[in-house]
Structure formats: C-alpha cells, structure tokens
Amino acid sequence: MPKNKRFLPLMIDLHCRKVVIFGGGSVGERKADLFSKYAETLVISKNFSYGLKELHKQKNVILIQKDLRSLNDNELMELMNGAFIVIPATSNKQINDRITSIAKSLDILTNQIDTVGEVTIPAVIQRGDLTIGISTAGLSPAFSRYVRQNIEKVITPEYEKMIVLQNDIRNYLKEHVKDQKHRKLILWKVLEDSTIWKDISESYEKGYKRAYDIVQKEINQKD
C-alpha cells in the first residue's frame, strides 16, 4: 500500500447517493454496471458504448452527452453537483487529472482508474447478506480476483442460509433466554454443528429443525 494512504474497509449504503462517471468507454461501462446496482449513477461523455446505452434503456444509468474537452471548470463543477463519488474514466489522462482536481476541491471522493485514489473498488463476494470485499489497495486487481475465486470455493451458498438461520434463532432466543452470554453460547453451538450445515444444504426447514432441537435442549438444561 502506498505510504501516504490509509485505507479503512467500510460497508457504505449508497442508496440515494449519486455517483458521477466521466467517460463512456469500456471502463466507464464497467464502473457504471457496478455502481448502478447501489447508487444513482450518471455517465457523462461525448460518446457511449453499446453496454452503457443498454444500461440506460433499462433505466439503470443516466447518460449526459457532453464534450468534456470543451467544458470549463465551472461547467464540470455543475455536473459533479451532489456527487458522493466521482470517477474520471476517460481515455485522456489530462482530462482525468483535471476532473480529479476539481472533485477534490469540492471535497468529493474520487475513484481513479490510472492510480490509487481515495476510493478503491474491491473484488466482491456476495452471498445474500454476507458481503466480502478483497482489495490490494489498487496494487494488483488480478490478485484480488484470484483470491476471490479461491474464497468462493469455500464460501458456499449454505453461508447465505446460515445467516438467515442465525438471525431467526437469535430473535427467538431474545424472547426466551434472558442471559446474553447463554444466547451467545447457543448461537455458537448452532453455528459449529456440522449436521446443521449438512441439513441446511438440503433445505432451510431441515436445518432450522435441527437448530431448534439444539436450542430447546440448551434451554431445558439451563432450567
């Protein structure tokens, strides 16, 4: 990691946030495809890739046609108005640097494509409510993808079901077990029971039944 960088991994709710991408090529398309799943996403460019036009047709992104080379600083500022993150993704480094400089002057976070900026995009594994981000601080995106592919072999779809099961059992325990330490112990027993993992791979109901039996046994023993 660059010595002047101090990256802290955070999970940020981008709902109702705006992400502004400058550049309508393949890089802008890739960024728009990602961010449009989480935030209001605008792409500004003179021309747009086929993929961006398709995203626009699906109402996932807003396309604004502008020749970035002809815009002055005030016009660029107006386009960044209300942005949470700005992404300079044109093929022109000079324009990218100019956009980055203006965004920073407005205290807007930037995700830069040709250097390590203020925001880095991790390789992501999503299993329901389980989200895992893998980052090399921009030093090796290929290695991030390599690590993601290996972790995906371990983080199976059963993890998604286990999160739901843990939440359901946790809510049940809050009503029936007063002692917080005892609740934690029961949850760990459920989490570490290999039979539950096997059952839940077949069906959630089967896994829940096994977990419920463990819960009842623990509650009765405590009484």
99 lies in a domain? Answer: yes
Any residues with CB less than 8 A from the CB of 197 and at least 6 apart, and which?
Answer: 158, 162, 207
Q: What is the DSSP string of 87-145?
A: EE--S-HHHHHHHHHHHHHTT-EE--SSS--S----EEEEETTEEEEE--TTS-HHHHH
Q: Are residues 104 and 148 both part of a single domain?
A: no
> Residues 103, 33: one domain?
yes
Query: How long, in residues, is the chain?
Result: 223
130 φ, ψ (degrees, to nearest 5): -90, 120
Domain shared by 140 and 205, yes or no: no
Tens-digit pLDDT profile for residues 177-222: 999 999 999 999 999 999 999 999 999 999 999 999 999 998 888 6
Whether 71 and 147 map to the same domain: the answer is: no
H/E run at residue 92: none
* Cα 184 from Cα 178, distance rounded (Å): 11
Does residue 9 fall inside a structural domain? no
Cα separation, 68 vs 76, whole angstroms:
8
Asked if residue 208 and residue 180 are part of one domain, the reply reads yes
User: Is there a single domain that holds both residue 147 and residue 170?
Assistant: no
Q: How many CB atoms lie within 10 A of CB 58?
A: 9
Q: How many domains does the chain have?
A: 3
Q: Give pTM, 2 decimals.
A: 0.81
| In a domain? residue 48 | yes
pLDDT tier at 2, thresholds 50, 70, 90: low
Are 134 and 86 part of one and the same domain? no
Same-domain pairing of 173 and 134: no
Task: Let me know whether 43 and 103 are in one domain.
Answer: yes
Task: Decide if 3 is inside a domain.
Answer: no
Do 113 and 90 meet the contact criterion of CB atoms below 8 Å apart? no
Residue 173: which of 133, 211, 202, 130 has the closest Cα? 211
21: its two tokens: 């991408």
Question: Would residue 4 count as lying in a domain?
Answer: no
Query: What's the pLDDT tens digit per position in 125-163?
Result: 888 899 999 988 777 888 988 999 999 999 988 999 999
Q: 96: domain range?
A: 18-121
Confirm whether 8 is domain-assigned: no
- Residue 11, domain member (yes or no): no
Question: pLDDT tens digits, residue range 13-37?
Answer: 999 999 999 999 999 999 999 999 9
Contact in structure between 66 and 21 (CB atoms under 8 Å): no
Q: Is 101 found in the same domain as 26?
A: yes
**Percentage, residues of the chain above pLDDT 70:** 97
Q: Are 21 and 28 in contact (CB under 8 A)?
A: yes
